[in-house]
Structure 1
Amino acid sequence: MASPVRLPRRPSATIVSRIYRPEPAAASLFLGTVADALMARGYRVDVLTVRAPREQGDGSRGERISAFPVLRDRNGYVRGYLQYLSFDVPLALRLLFARRPDVVLVEPPPTTGAVVRAVCALRRIPYVYDAADIWSDAAGHATDSGLVVRVLRRIETFALRGATALVTISQGVVDRLAALHVTTPVTVTGFGADTSTFSYEQRSIEPLFIYAGTYTALHGADLIIEAFARLRESHPEHRLRFIGNGTGQDEMRARAAALGIAGRVEFRDPVTAADLRPQLAAATASLATLHPDGGYEYAFTSKIFSSLATGCPVIFAGVGPTRTFIDDAEAPVGTAVGYEVDALATAMRGAADDPLPAPERQALAEWTAAHHSMRATAERVCDVLDAAHERGSEQ
């Protein structure tokens, strides 16, 4: 009697993140694209995440999603120490008793990375940490407590140093990791747009500027309020729309009211990528900022790729690699200026006077899809996960 044929075992990966699709965020889109790429390579993919708001539906495209209820802030986000703990504490048990994967990909915050390091050490599982930025640097700007920053730094470096490998989006983060004496191998995978969702859509261009995404003191988006007030002196028909959430929204609303422009400044809740695309397609330009004194000067403002993938040019005010990218791009991606009100107002005025025409917007979208696709980035992350899996198999 012939013995049964044994099929080769499928490799398996677990993604650990406090945010995942269908929640509207860059991290959700990115991790979902990584899951898609892993499954295309034959991986069985599990996701340990949080329960999304009921109205957003299910984000699975074949991966098995294990969602756990957590605390959310008043804006509905899992952001803040108590909110992170409500995910991290149950995560320890969820990961400890979950089906054993060959490799784990973990998304910040650092407390989640620390939990993953501890459990993966017990179960002898290699893990890859997504070091898109350095959270303890951000905390140094958000709090005056040196103790908080020191504790977070220890937790973060514990998570970073225990990983088999790190992935990040820019060389600036690599340099910062070296300064922190983190010697874990790191790969710059870049970042890109989800071009399956963000693509060119021909629409009449409206007198509208959009800031889409999170805005905190680190971003310095309040500068946009001041610049828009100056733009309105010569372009009263234009509107400014913030889509997302931010810690400084109350102050920004108050400043808009004080400048007499509250009726032309909108603050809207986060929306899905499919709902954001037509708004970007109709905008004169999208806006992004990065404060020069936030200790975050090496960060790349990855939100610009979603805008560029629709053909919507970007106006960036700030410092760091985003400005270099815009200045050096081989396509009309937009304008980069310093973090200064007059410079930003001048750039907005230029876009309002001479908006990018439809043929050039379409060419910009096609260039972005060819050179800055999130799928290409996800494939590079999968290469790192493959290598970590192979190293774990050899041990």
Structure 2
Amino acid sequence: MSPLVRIATRTYAPDVGAAPFRLRALARALVAAGCEVEVLTAAPRGPVPPEDPGVRTRRAPVLRDADGAVRGYLPYLSFDVPLTGRLLLGRRPDVVVHEPPPTTGLATRLAGLARRVPYVSYVPDVWSLGAVAAGAPRPVLAALRTAEATALRGAAAVLAVTAGMAEEVVRAGVPRGRVHVVGNGVDVEVFRPAPALAAEPAAPAAPGLRAVYSGTMSEWQGAEVFVRAFAELTRTDPAARLVMVGGGVDAPRLRALAARLAPGAVELPGTVPPERAARLLGEADVALASLVPGSGYDLMAPTKVAAAAACGTPVLFAGTGSGAEVVRGHDLGAVVAHDPAAVAAALRTWPRPDAARRARLRAWAEEHGSLAAAAERAAAVVLRAAGAGGA
């Protein structure tokens, strides 16, 4: 009988974002490796998409915020409290994979103990670090640290997206031999250069600079820096345009700020399908990404960088951390301080990429930013955990 892998996650397709993309890629890689895959997730607000071959998706009602995301303490608990029972039902899996938040990890560990099933923790970020940066109250921070450490220490294996994240997991008390760096990326078949621009080195027809920010907008990203920078940039380049696609807790505030500081120059259409985001990136002169210094998320590997490179578009990164190091170390664009004046100064002299530049960026993404390749590495670890029975 084929191994059965369960994936426990509050967010999955048709949700849009790094987590659902990453987990869907993992599910597909596990099926390709000969597994049966069952995903325990939340019911979407809209239509349920067709299932991938070999993947059974079991959805349950959950609380969502105004943007439709499962985000916040009550929405998390509305998924995680019933999750323990859901994990106890049905055929006994060979292994379970869970995503954050830590409460999902606790539910997975409790059910795993009851059924003697090993589990794997997928760690795109360390939540307790973000809570420290956000100034969470001490009782909340203590509870979060305990929940996170308990979930990670009980895992048969931990999948980290960066080496820095892996070190944080080891510091949390997980034996180094259980921690595996699998990387991250995007679907390079969806995120591709715009055909016309990839073939023609001629300057774009648009008179002003075209910039795109694609992804989550939260206090950690500090995307406000780009709205304020564009308010400065349009004084000398009135035709410059910025499109910021995606959602997040900061999106409503940024929309109001853009209407006040840069009316007509900055557009925030909300979350869009990946294909539209890819088209916007591929047609842009520059992709924007940021991380607030000292936010606690410096170890993250922003998929914005890989998505932009896959579309052949150079990145202007504002801030510090792993994302900045990747952009600087692989010549994917430029890095500046997380400061509106610094961003505006860089954009004023930004060189529009020609076809050769776009091709080099695309080649880097195919080699280093493929989500499918990262999923294959993650699937290999999950299979070893299933075979070892959590030993």
With structure 1 as the length reference, what TM-score do the two structures score?
Answer: 0.92
Do the aligned partners of residues 59 and 20 (structure 1) sit closer, same or farther apart at CA in structure 2, a change above 3 Å counting? farther
Cα drift, residue 17 of structure 1? 0.7
The answer to whether 1:216 aligns with 2:218 is: yes
What are the equivalent positions in structure 2 for 1:199-214 lying under 5 Å apart? 199-203=192-196, 205=204, 206=206, 207-214=209-216
Count of aligned residue pairs for this structure pair? 381
AA in 2 matched with 1:327: R
- Deviations along 1:303-348, one digit per CA (max 9) or x if unpaired, are 221121111211111111211111111xx42111222222211222
- C-alpha distance in structure 2 between counterparts of 1:102 and 1:178, whole Å: 25
Q: Is the 8 A contact 1:231 1:345 kept in 2?
A: yes
- C-alpha distance in structure 2 between counterparts of 1:253 and 1:28, whole Å: 25
Q: Is the 8 A contact 1:109 1:135 kept in 2?
A: yes
- Where does residue 342 of structure 1 map in the other structure? 341
- C-alpha distance in structure 2 between counterparts of 1:110 and 1:72, whole Å: 18
Between the two proteins, what is the percent identity of the paired residues? 37
The answer to whether 1:132 aligns with 2:124 is: yes
The answer to whether 1:192 aligns with 2:185 is: yes
Q: Is the 8 A contact 1:291 1:339 kept in 2?
A: yes
More displaced stretch, 180-189 vs 119-128: 180-189
Cα drift, residue 361 of structure 1? 1.1
- Where does residue 355 of structure 2 map in the other structure? 358
What are the equivalent positions in structure 2 for 1:310-389 lying under 5 Å apart? 310-329=311-330, 332-351=331-350, 354-389=351-386
The answer to whether 1:52 aligns with 2:51 is: no
The answer to whether 1:163 aligns with 2:155 is: yes
AA in 2 matched with 1:367: W
Cα drift, residue 33 of structure 1? 0.9
The answer to whether 1:72 aligns with 2:72 is: no
Q: What's the secondary structure of 1:289's corresponding residue? A: strand
Cα drift, residue 258 of structure 1? 4.0
AA in 1 matched with 2:275: A
Name structure 1 gaps, 5 residues minimum: 1-8
With structure 2 as the length reference, what TM-score do the two structures score?
Answer: 0.92
Q: What's the secondary structure of 1:263's corresponding residue? A: coil
Cα drift, residue 378 of structure 1? 0.6
- C-alpha distance in structure 2 between counterparts of 1:56 and 1:125, whole Å: 29
Name structure 2 gaps, 5 residues minimum: 198-203
- C-alpha distance in structure 1 between counterparts of 2:135 and 2:196, whole Å: 43
- C-alpha distance in structure 1 between counterparts of 2:49 and 2:130, whole Å: 32
- Where does residue 302 of structure 2 map in the other structure? 301
AA in 2 matched with 1:202: P
Cα drift, residue 390 of structure 1? 1.7
- C-alpha distance in structure 2 between counterparts of 1:258 and 1:200, whole Å: 33
Q: Is the 8 A contact 2:152 2:158 kept in 1?
A: yes
RMSD: 1.8
Work out which of the residue numbers 113, 130, 136 in structure 2 matches 1:121: 113
The answer to whether 1:247 aligns with 2:267 is: no
- C-alpha distance in structure 2 between counterparts of 1:134 and 1:215, whole Å: 18
Q: Is the 8 A contact 1:202 1:358 kept in 2?
A: no
- C-alpha distance in structure 1 between counterparts of 2:250 and 2:45, whole Å: 24
- C-alpha distance in structure 2 between counterparts of 1:180 and 1:17, whole Å: 22
Q: Is the 8 A contact 1:23 1:272 kept in 2?
A: no
- C-alpha distance in structure 1 between counterparts of 2:51 and 2:44, whole Å: 9
- Deviations along 1:145-190, one digit per CA (max 9) or x if unpaired, are 1211111111111111110010111111122223333336211111
- C-alpha distance in structure 1 between counterparts of 2:53 and 2:12, whole Å: 12
- Deviations along 1:127-159, one digit per CA (max 9) or x if unpaired, are 110111111211223344121111111111111
- C-alpha distance in structure 1 between counterparts of 2:6 and 2:41, whole Å: 10
- Where does residue 283 of structure 2 map in the other structure? 282
